[in-house]
Amino acid sequence: MLTRELKKGQLVKSRAGRDKNRFYLVYNWDHEFVYVVDGKYRGIQNPKKKNLRHLWYTEKIAEEISLKLNNGEKVTNADIRKALDLLVAKVDDN
């Protein structure tokens, strides 16, 4: 996946590392890395830096989180956890 296809608030799953199979939301990215958060172990104040190739990308996006991040509004770790729980439940149902 190219970085231009990424969206803030998009649901991703780690494919490699100690956090393998853990879900995150995209917080930001640059040309080589994606910065992801889960609101519990990796909060807004300390996003995890992941290699682009070490993530599995889904089509699901936390719309509320995406809007807040794109508008520069405050997002709390509780907001992240809530949105992540809802999206992961949808993925698990499929």
Question: Which tens digit of pLDDT belongs to each residue from 6-17?
Answer: 999 999 999 999
Strands of 33-37's sheet in order across = 48-51, 33-37, 23-29, 10-14, 55-61
- Per residue in 51-60, is it b (16+ CB within 10 Å) or e — as a string? ebeebebeeb
For 3-93, give the CATH class.
mainly beta
What global pTM score does this model have?
A: 0.90
What pLDDT score does 3 carry?
55
Express each pLDDT in 63-76 by its tens digit: 999 999 999 999 99
